[in-house]
Amino acid sequence: MGRQAAGSHPRPLVVADGAHNGDSAHKLRQALEQYFKFEKAVLIIGMSSDKDLAGIVAELAPVFRQVIVTKSLHPRAMDTKSIAEEFMKHGISAQQTYDISSAMPLGLSLVGEKRFALYYRVIICRGRRN
């Protein structure tokens, strides 16, 4: 499956990835579509301010209807408003959180027991691995 890492607990399935530009987000999207079957997925995303926001969002928006935006404590972390605004350009109203400690429980509550989450860097999906 490449560099993605799937958590060992099957429900909900949590996948972490570190794609940082449009090309790597495209490869992530291909891997998700190839290796996973899911009805619905939640994306939890936070990024550094020097990353390709438009390219990453353009690749991932078609896969995720639910998005949670978060921010790390790192000084280069991008503000959540910028990320949420980029998703809005694709018709997705992203929920904003202040940090991963609030984003992860929110994502898990949205997907329930049988879904899939990607931590984008995190994804939570309903479904199973192929």
pLDDT in tens, 70-119: 998 889 999 999 999 999 999 999 999 988 889 988 988 887 765 555 54
Residue 120 has pLDDT above 80, yes or no: no
End-to-end CA distance of the chain: 11
Q: What percent of the chain has pLDDT over 70?
A: 78
**Domain at 5-122: CATH architecture:** Alpha-Beta Complex (3.90)
Long-range contacts of the stretch 73-78 (C-beta < 8 A, 24+)? 73/99, 74/48, 76/48, 76/49, 76/50, 77/46, 77/47, 77/48, 77/49, 78/46, 78/47, 78/48, 78/49, 78/51, 78/53
- On average, the pLDDT of the chain sits at 81
Backbone angles phi, psi at 128, to 5 degrees: -145, 160
The pTM score is: 0.81
pLDDT at 5: 45
